[in-house]
């Protein structure tokens, strides 16, 4: 595992639950579908199975509900749907992420500009 992957996973850890809620809010989804959607969005998930503990926690907190549906030509699938508490949690997470990402962009962006331009003398 590269250090970039590790850093990405660590950064993602705190916001992955909100990402899962955001995917489920579009439509009911099952685990594999969620993992694939996260991959396709370019999120650096080291192991896709790591979404399951999060799904369990979200379900336990009443933010998601799950139900089992037979799948054609395969084992049954467990779909997840968002609850009203889940909607509220997602709205709150979006607000926090918006503030944090603006702040982080401002700080990291500033350093990038300094590095690019070299030290500035007065």
Partner 1 sequence: MADQRQTREIRRTVRRVKNYWYRAGVPRKVRRDKAEELHAHLLEAVNDGRRVEDVVGRDVAAFASEWAQAERPRPLLDVFLQVVAAVTLLPGGLALLNPWLNTALGQDDPRTGLPVESLAFLAVYVPALVGWQLVRVLRHRLTTQQAAILGVLLFIAYAVVLFPVTGWGRNTDAFVVLQPTTAWTLVIIGTAIQGLASWLKRSRR
Q: How far apart are CA 90 and CA 108, in angstroms?
A: 26
- From the CB of 111, what's the least distance to partner 1, in Å? 33
CA 86 → CA 24, 77, 97, 103, 118, distances in Å?
A: 10, 21, 16, 25, 46
CA angle at 35 for the pair 29 and 37, rounded to the nearest 5°: 75
- From the CB of 119, what's the least distance to partner 1, in Å? 43
**Binding string, residues 46-85; x marks residues near partner 1 by CB under 8 A:** xxxxx-xxx-xx--xx------x--x--xxxxx-------
Adjacent-strand bridge partners of 79: 30, 67
- From the CB of 47, what's the least distance to partner 1, in Å? 4
**Please, are residues 70 and 78 in contact by the beta-carbon 8 Å criterion?**
no
- From the CB of 67, what's the least distance to partner 1, in Å? 11
75 vs 119, beta carbon nearer partner 1? 75
E-state strands within 1-122: 29-30, 64-71, 74-82
Residues in region 79-118 near partner 1 by CB under 8 A:
none
Contacts with partner 1, residue ranges (CB under 8 A): 30-32, 35-36, 46-50, 52-54, 56-57, 60-61, 68, 71, 74-78
């Amino acid at each position: 595992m590269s250090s970039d992957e590790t850093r990405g996973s660590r950064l993602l850890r705190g916001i992955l639950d909100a990402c899962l809620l955001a995917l489920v809010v579009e439509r009911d989804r099952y685990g594999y579908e969620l993992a694939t959607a996260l991959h396709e969005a370019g999120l650096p998930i080291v192991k896709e199975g790591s979404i399951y503990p999060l799904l369990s926690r979200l379900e336990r907190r009443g933010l998601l509900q799950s139900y089992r549906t037979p799948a054609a030509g395969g084992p049954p699938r467990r779909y997840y749907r968002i609850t009203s508490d889940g909607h509220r949690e997602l709205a709150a997470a979006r607000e926090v992420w918006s503030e944090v990402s603006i702040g982080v962009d401002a700080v990291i962006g500033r350093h990038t500009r300094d590095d690019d331009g070299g030290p500035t003398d007065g």
